[in-house]
Structure 1
Amino acid sequence: MEEYMLPCFFKSYTGLDCIGCGIQRSINFLFHGEFIKAFEIFPAIYTTIFFFVFIGLHLFDKRREYHKMVIFLAIANASIMIISYVYKMKFLY
C-alpha cells in the first residue's frame, strides 16, 4: 500500500509539512492494527473517521438529524489538526 501513497505537494514545494501530512501513513497504520502509531503520526485520525461516518449517515439516513454532530466533529477535527500542527512545527523547526 505504501507504494501507492500520494506525495504531499505542499511539502514537496515548500519543504514544510502541511496540516494534513501523515494522514495516509496513519490510515496505513490503522489497516495494520497499529492504533497508537496511527495517532502519533496524525492525531486527528479518529475524529476524521467519525466525521466521515457521520457525514455518510447525514447523507443517507434522512430520518434522523446528524447535522449537529457533523458540525461538532468538524470543529473538533479542525481544532485537533491545528493544535497538533502547531505543536509539531514548534518541535521540528
Structure 2
Amino acid sequence: MYLSTFIFFLESYMLPCLNKKFFGIDCPGCGAQRAFSLLFQGEFAAAFEMYPAIFTIIPLLGFLLADNFFTIKYSNKIIITLMVSSVVLILGNYILKFL
C-alpha cells in the first residue's frame, strides 16, 4: 500500500524539462525521473529503454554514499568506472535520440 502511494506521489510531482519546454529539444537527462519511477514499479526493461544510465547512476550514488562511511579497497577505480560508464550511456542515449 505504501509503495503504490509513493509511486503516485512521484508521478504527480515530476519536474518538467525546461530545456525541452523552452527550446523544444531533449536534454541529456530527459527520462531519468520517469525511469526512476518505472524502477519503483518493477518495470526494469521499460526503465532501461527510457534512460539506460539509471542502472549505473543508482549504484554510483549508493557507492559514493557507502564510501563516506566505510573504507573500501579500490574505491577510486570503482567510482571512476561507474562515472565513465554513466557518461558513456548518457551521451550514447542522447545521440541516439537524434538519429
CA RMSD of aligned residues (A): 0.9
| Deviation >6 Å, runs of 4+ | none
- Does residue 49 of structure 2 align to residue 40 of structure 1? yes
- 2:72 pairs, out of 64, 72, 75, with 64
Contact 1:58-1:67 at 8 Å conserved across structures: no
- Does residue 15 of structure 2 align to residue 6 of structure 1? yes
Partner of residue 16, structure 1: 25
In the alignment, structure 1 segments of 5+ residues that lack a partner are: none
* C-alpha distance in structure 2 between counterparts of 1:32 and 1:24, whole Å: 13
Q: Encode CA deviations 1:24-82: one digit per residue, 9 max, x unaligned.
A: 00011011110000000001110011111111122121x22312111110011000110
In the alignment, structure 2 segments of 5+ residues that lack a partner are: 1-9
Give the TM-score taking structure 1 as reference length: 0.90
Percent identical residues: 39
* C-alpha distance in structure 2 between counterparts of 1:43 and 1:64, whole Å: 27
Give the TM-score taking structure 2 as reference length: 0.85
- 1:87 pairs, out of 77, 88, 96, with 96
